[in-house]
Amino acid sequence: MTDTPLTQSLEYARANQARLLEKFYEFLRIPSVSTDAAYQPDVHRAAEWLVAELERLGFDECAALPTDGHPVVYGEWLKAGDDQPTVIIYAHYDVQPPDPLALWQTPPFEPELRDGKLYARGAIDDKAGVWGNLIVFEALLQTTGALPFNVKVFFEGEEESGSPSMAPFITANRERLAADLLIISDGGCLPPTPEIIYSARGIISAEVTVTGPEHDFHSGLGGGVLHNPVHMVAKIIASFHDDNGHIRIPGAYDGSIPMTEAERQKFAATEDRTIQMIKQSLGDFRVWGEPGFGFMERSARTSLDVNGVYGGYQGDGVKTIIPAKAGFKVTMRLAPGQDPHDIARKLEAHVMGFACDTVDIAVKIGKQAGWGVLMLQDGPIIDALDRAYQAGWGQAIDFTRTGGSIPIMGMFQRELNLPITVMGFGSGALAHAPNEHLLLDYFQRNIDTAIHFYHALPQAISG
């Protein structure tokens, strides 16, 4: 193999794998759970640990920047020169709670390597994305003395709690975050084929409460006389869809960017395989939804789901009452192009259209509103990413959409107008469950892939 800066970087990462893995263990031992206030000191400790690592690598302006929630770890390496592009590298250092602890084979914050799998909370989601990038930076800096492009690191501390402080932080730091490209290093793809998402849906949430009598009423006295809040809840829920799943809220689909005909044909060709793969992972189910749209297209369109309903007696047997209160919780996934604040107003208006004199209806819109996002799916940057995966994995990329929501992507795109692509490091399983584990061989392949990609990126951005 010819000795080049690329091969030197690859060889450095592999030669130092054991030492760098021990450092990764150190990071994984910090229980940076963002959703539980009891872990707040640990989240801050993880942030300071990363600041020290960035300083060790030679980054400038390294700091745990305060937000209304957990800090953003920031650092920059801008020595490539004004003629080279600037790239933001995003990952998050916070993790999910480890519960239920009894189901872990080994303690969640005591990393253990078994049969090529590294078990620890955060091993794939998303400390692999944080540490994988730091390995790549070290390999490049130690072998070539420089990074091929200017880098701004943005490591978030509250992704697992919905990124509630990130939109105002990004808005307030537009100048600091000016760049040519954003790379999202969250998650990762499973063997054997690297799968990269290029689209995610936005999201809004709401809770609807219907209040009737001052307290639960005997149905012998109130039946036929009082308006039952549970009945009103059922009526509102029944109004959301027609029999085929089309949302009947006026304007529910406003602003949505439809799939292209090429995308529809691509997903139609792989629909049966996709459904079978999901069934193998999650169990059997029956497909339902709007006619004229394939499985993947339905999961990319606007959707509405009632996530929970409450009201009345829930115990064994019968309790003859008119409940005083009932309600439900609802989320809407939004197609790229839709304004979540606009759709939230339309959801609220639709529900309040049922207002009457016999019960009180209230709608509480959730604080977090996420925008859908369309990322790069072709062009020189994607060509370079595809070549990098072919070098690291021996496989071309399979591009797909996700029906899920990743609020930070929409925030970056809305506030900074940046092109976005994904380069994940966390190939493994059970991300939010007990026994989360990283496939160590594929973690190294992802490091190799990133080294290939980062070496090729300046020319791809310029060309």
Distance CA(58)–CA(50), nearest Å, equals 13
Cβ-based neighbour number of residue 206 at 10 Å: 17
**Predicted local distance difference test score (pLDDT) of residue 373:** 94
Euclidean distance between CA atoms 252 and 304, whole angstroms: 9
Evaluate whether 5-200+372-462 and 202-262+277-365 have a shared fold. Answer: no
The pLDDT, as a whole number, for residue 1 is 56
Predicted pLDDT at 125: 94
The CATH architecture that domain 5-200+372-462 belongs to is 3-Layer(aba) Sandwich (3.40)
Residue 209: which region, alpha, beta or left (left: phi > 0; alpha: psi -120 to 50)? beta
Sign of CA dihedral 33, 163, 335, 344: positive
Listed by start position, the domains of the chain span: 5-200+372-462, 202-262+277-365
Kindly give the confidence (pLDDT) of every residue in the chain, 463 residues in length, as a single tens digit, with 9 standing for 90 and above.
578 999 999 999 999 999 999 999 999 999 999 999 999 999 999 999 999 999 999 999 999 999 999 999 999 999 999 999 999 999 999 999 999 999 999 999 999 999 999 999 999 999 999 999 999 999 999 999 999 999 999 999 999 988 989 999 999 999 999 999 999 999 888 888 898 999 999 999 999 999 999 999 999 999 999 999 999 999 999 999 999 999 999 999 999 999 999 999 988 888 888 888 788 767 898 989 899 898 888 989 999 999 999 999 999 999 999 999 999 999 999 999 999 999 999 999 999 999 999 999 999 999 878 899 999 999 999 999 999 999 999 999 999 898 888 889 999 999 999 999 999 999 999 998 999 999 999 999 999 999 999 999 999 998 7
Domain 202-262+277-365, classified CATH 3.30.390.10, yes or no: no
- Check if the beta carbon of residue 69 is closer than 8 Å to that of residue 90: no
pLDDT at 270: 84
